[in-house]
Chain A
Amino acid sequence: MAFIHKYSTISKGNTFNQGIIDGCINFKIAPDITHPYYKDVIIGINLRRMSIIVKMGLANTLKCLSRNKVDAIVVGTGLASLHNSELFLCSLIDPEQSILSPTPFINSVHNTISGEIALHTQNKGYNSTYSQGALSFEGALLDAILLTKEGKNVIVGGVDEAIPILDKMGAESKFTTGSTFFNLSPNKEDSLGEIINCIITKENKLDSFINENFNSNEDLLISGFSTCNNSKKTKNLNYSKFSGIYMTNSAFGLQLAVELLNSNIFELDGHILLSKIKRIFIINHASKNNIGIIILKK
């Protein structure tokens, strides 16, 4: 029911213009995050006070627009604009600042992203924002799937921002910045793939889920880590290796899956792929004990 018609990623490499496979994975050297020239993409709007996270969400949204009217905008973000949260927090304890600027406060609010996308695309439809740690995108995607079942065309995406503080928090991996958005609709015509399920479950239920549902002769599994902890012990394509670590990077994984479904690639990053992939499982276990599973089919 939820058919993907367009996608757009801002991440490592030139994914915004070339997609993930050509813009990122096929690079010989690990590329840095590459922002588009926002002035060329977001036209006619003063970008000076717009936070980077809103710019990413808005630029991706504009790239995902089609001739079909958008009925709903749904965004997932694990941490919203950390930069602005930090700015406002620090201004609270700065004795020099007797009058606080409201701008970082406004920009720190989670739904500033979906709100500004609505404002700048003049979209008066359904609008919502999800924030559930590393499963924030899955929440947004489930809402988007429901919306397509209700007959609506949806822009849905994930976006998160890294700031230097994150590296001091004792996380094992360095955090990065990234964003991926999709255009979903109930119409199959000219679509690039269909999302048939989006589940959140406990890690200890993953094995039985894979055993019951996954067919290694026709299904491909990609995940946020190099080995997916299931009984088949398959070494799988690891999207985090290319996206970097951020809370909504399963959206990047989903775009990679869409690109794979529509390509004729046999080998990617040392992985031999099936000649005919029927379904792709995107497994996100970045959240402790909880797993996100997105299933995409051609």
Chain B
Amino acid sequence: MSISITGLGIVSAIGMNLDENLNSLQNLRSGISTIELIDGLQENFLGGEIKLTNQELSLIAFGNNQQAVLPRSLLLSLIAAKQAWGENSINPKIKTAIIGATTVGGMDLAEKILEKDKRIRTLAHNPSGIITDYLADYFCLDEFRTTISTACSSTANAIILGSRMIKMGLTDRVLVGGGDALTKFTVHGFNSLRIYDTEFCKPFDNDRKGLNLGEAAAYIVLENNKSIKITKNKKIASILGWGNANDAYHQTASSPEGEGAQKAMQLALKEANLSLTDIDYINAHGTATPNNDLSEGRAIEKLFGPKQLFSSTKAYTGHTLAAAGSVECIYSILSIKNNTIFPTLNHNTLMSELSVKPVINIKKDITINTVLSNSFGFGGNNATIIIGR
């Protein structure tokens, strides 16, 4: 059973489409800056902010600014999903599902209403399913629809569900991905946990202090062979394997030895029927929190040994929460297509606890056929996908 990726769509702080994202990655251009578009933040925060207002996003998504009242996560998701879906259309011969993912949903609207009116009708905008419902109706996808909300691993788990549904014959094609806008709720939330760096985040650095959040949406189209025969879409890459395991260690933190991370990576290798040496590069979760990078670093070290090539792209985009899994799935595909490892930015000092070293300079003298991408989250959630040619 082959699970082909035939469409890609992405908006992030380093670009409003695939080409712009690739260009920024190749030119080591970070999108992290002082957050400007959220009113009423208690202090200055650095984040991977897309410097477009909701009016401007509405213009891109709809050709007019009338839809600026929609949640920002939805506007971002629609722009990315339209790029991924492209010229595809519904077809009675192709069963098509849509699987979305978000953590904040319409929380930005809730915050705005809350400021105006304390009697609040805010939470009406909170339901996560509104984005998938909107996209499903927009693209006329009237079969299976759902939204996964497993914090920072949400889109990775969405890709996993889509792949499993195709493998088990439940669907022929899936539009899968997700989006999260920056909100006061999440910025202050991570700051209250004391893991929000006041400076530019430094993944896998000995002196890392924490993450910078970011906003993004990324969607991909998955198809089985039957669907591709009808759509004639070109295969861009393939989903080869996946794993999901729980750390069962702490509400928000990962276990020090990265037990869940190791298990997720092992399950993905087993599903893909690959050995450790088949993985040319790991796009790590690498949030730059002291806890994640130690836990993930140890898991990579223990499983793959000290020579494994890996990097984190979080210092380009910020941590885009639910979107991180599909954003980094697309970056992994760009690594394969361009035989390039996009480096870990802002790195100065190796972590004293680890023998593994992140790639810190762009690496082009290499052939990349297979990439493993990690996404870990609150609730002990560990998700891994493996992408191949």
Q: Which of B181-189, B202-210, B301-309, B340-348 contacts A (4 or more CB under 8 A)?
A: B181-189
From A111, A133, A170, A200, contact of B381 by CB (8 A): A111
Contacts of B114 in A (CB 8 A): 89-90, 92-93
A61 within 8 A of B: no
* A residues in contact with B151, CB < 8 Å: 109-111
Residues in chain B near residue A116, CB distance under 8 A? 251, 379
Q: Is the CB of A105 within 8 A of B127?
A: no
Question: What residues of chain B lie closer than 8 Å to A34, measured between beta carbons?
Answer: none
- By secondary structure, the B interface counts as mixed
Within 8 A of B (CB), among A30-79: 73, 78-79
Partner of A100, one of B118, B170, B192: B192
The complex places the Cα of A114 from the Cα of B168 at a distance, in Å, of: 24
Pick from B111, B130, B185, B379: contact of A112, CB below 8 A. B379
Of B75-83, B224-232, B242-250, the one contacting chain A is B242-250
Interface string of A121-158 (1 = CB under 8 A from B): 11111111111110110110011001001100000000
Whether A264 sits at the interface, judged by CB under 8 Å, is no
Write out the residue numbers on chain A whose beta carbons fall within 8 Å of the beta carbon of B149.
Answer: 80, 109-111, 129-131
B111, B130, B132, B377: which contacts A111 (Cβ < 8 A)? B377
Does A215 interact with chain B (Cβ within 8 Å)? no
Q: Which residues of A contact B24 (CB under 8 A)?
A: none
Cα A28 to Cα B119 in complex, Å, equals 37
Q: Name the contact of A123 in the complex, choosing from B127, B142, B246 (C-beta under 8 A).
A: B246
CB of B251 within 8 A of CB of A119, answer yes
Number of residue pairs A-B, CB distance < 8 angstroms: 188
B311 at the interface (CB under 8 A from A): no
Q: How many Å from the CB of A145 to the closest CB on chain B?
A: 9
Decide if A188 is an interface residue (CB 8 Å cutoff).
no
Which of B188, B192, B193, B245 is A124 in contact with, Cβ under 8 Å? Answer: B245
Q: Which residues of B contact A106 (CB under 8 A)?
A: 193, 251-252, 378
The A88-107 residues at the B interface (CB cut-off 8 A) are 88-90, 92-93, 98-102, 105-106
| Nearest-Cβ distance from residue A90 to partner chain B, whole angstroms | 7
Distance of B206 from chain A, by nearest CB (Å): 25
Cα A165 to Cα B110 in complex, Å, equals 13
B145 lies within 8 A of A109 (CB): no
Q: Does B287 lie at the interface of the complex (its beta carbon under 8 Å from any beta carbon of A)?
A: no
| Alpha-carbon separation in the docked complex, A79 to B244 (Å) | 23
Q: Once the chains bind, are B248 and A123 in contact (CB under 8 Å)? A: yes
Closest to B102 in A: A131
**Is the beta-carbon distance between B143 and A200 smaller than 8 angstroms?**
yes
Give the residues from 126 to 163 in chain B that come closer than 8 angstroms, CB to CB, to chain A: 126-130, 132-133, 142-151, 157, 161
Decide yes or no whether B358 CB sits under 8 A from chain A. no
A105–B127 CA distance with the chains assembled, in angstroms: 16
Q: How far is the CB of B368 from chain A (nearest CB, A)?
A: 29
Chain B residues closer than 8 Å to A127, beta-carbon distance? 150, 244-246, 379-381
Contact with A along B50-85 (1 / 0, CB 8 A): 000000000000000000000000000000000000
- B126→A85 contact, CB < 8 A: yes
A202 interfacial contact with B, CB 8 Å: yes
- Chain A residue nearest to B245 in the complex (CB): A124
Q: When chains A and B are docked, how far (Å) is the Cα of A92 from the Cα of B118? A: 12
Closest chain B CB from A58 CB (angstroms): 13
A92 and B111 contact, CB distance less than 8 A: yes
Residues of B near A170 (CB, < 8 A) are 121
Q: Per-residue CB proximity of B161-175 to A under 8 Å, as 1/0?
A: 100110010100000
User: Which residue on B lies nearest to A140, using beta carbons?
Assistant: B146
- Asked if A200 contacts B189 (CB within 8 A), the reply is no
Provide the B88-99 mask, 1 if CB < 8 A to any CB of A, else 0.
Answer: 000000000000
Our pick among B133, B142, B252 for the contact of A201 (Cβ within 8 Å) is B142
CB distance from B156 to the nearest CB of A (A): 11
The answer to whether B130 and A133 have CB atoms under 8 Å apart is yes
A88 touching B381 by the CB < 8 A rule? Answer: no
A135 touches B129 (CB 8 A): yes
Contact of A86 among B123, B133, B147, B164 (CB under 8 A): B123
The answer to whether B249 and A133 have CB atoms under 8 Å apart is: no
Q: Which residues of B contact A89 (CB under 8 A)?
A: 110-111, 114, 122, 185
Q: Once the chains bind, are A111 and B248 in contact (CB under 8 Å)?
A: no
- Please determine whether A115 and B124 come into contact, CB atoms closer than 8 angstroms: no
Q: A89-B111, A115-B378, A131-B128 are in contact. Are A124 and B168 (CB under 8 A)?
A: no
Least Cβ–Cβ distance between A110 and chain B, in angstroms: 4
Known: A115-B380, A119-B250, A127-B246. A139 touches B189 (CB 8 A): no
Contacts A93-B115, A168-B119 hold; do A125 and B188 have CB atoms under 8 A apart? no
Please measure, in the bound complex, the distance between the C-alpha atom of A82 and the C-alpha atom of B58, giving whole angstroms.
Answer: 29
State how many angstroms separate the Cβ of A295 from the closest Cβ of chain B. Answer: 15
CA distance in complex: A271, B201 (Å): 63
Which residues of the partner chain A approach B377 to less than 8 Å between Cβ atoms?
Answer: 111
Looking at the assembled complex, report how far the CB atom of B59 sits from the nearest CB atom of chain A, in whole angstroms: 28
Question: Which residues of chain A come closer than 8 Å to B379, judged between CB atoms?
Answer: 109, 111-112, 114-116, 118, 127, 129
B26 contacts chain A at the CB level, 8 A cutoff: no
Q: Give B289-313 as 1s and 0s: 1 = Cβ < 8 Å from A's Cβ atoms.
A: 0000000000000000000000000
Residue of A118, A135, A149 near B248 (CB, 8 A) is: A118
Residue pair B244, A126 in contact (C-beta under 8 Å): yes
Question: Is residue B49 within 8 Å, beta carbon to beta carbon, of the partner chain?
Answer: no
Complex contact A142–B144 (CB within 8 A): yes
Interface string of A169-181 (1 = CB under 8 A from B): 1100000000000
List 13 A-B pairs, Cβ < 8 Å. Answer: A82-B123, A82-B126, A106-B378, A109-B378, A111-B149, A115-B381, A116-B379, A123-B248, A124-B247, A128-B148, A135-B129, A136-B146, A247-B127
Chain A to chain B: the 5 pairs with minimum beta-carbon distance, closest first? A115-B379, A139-B146, A110-B149, A105-B189, A132-B129
Known contacts A109-B151, A114-B150; can you find 8 more A-B pairs with CB under 8 A?
A82-B126, A92-B111, A92-B185, A110-B103, A111-B377, A115-B251, A125-B246, A127-B244
Chain B positions within 8 Å of A, measured between CB atoms, are: 40, 42, 103, 110-111, 114-115, 118-124, 126-130, 132-133, 142-151, 157, 161, 164-165, 168, 170, 184-185, 188-189, 191-193, 244-252, 259-260, 263, 377-381
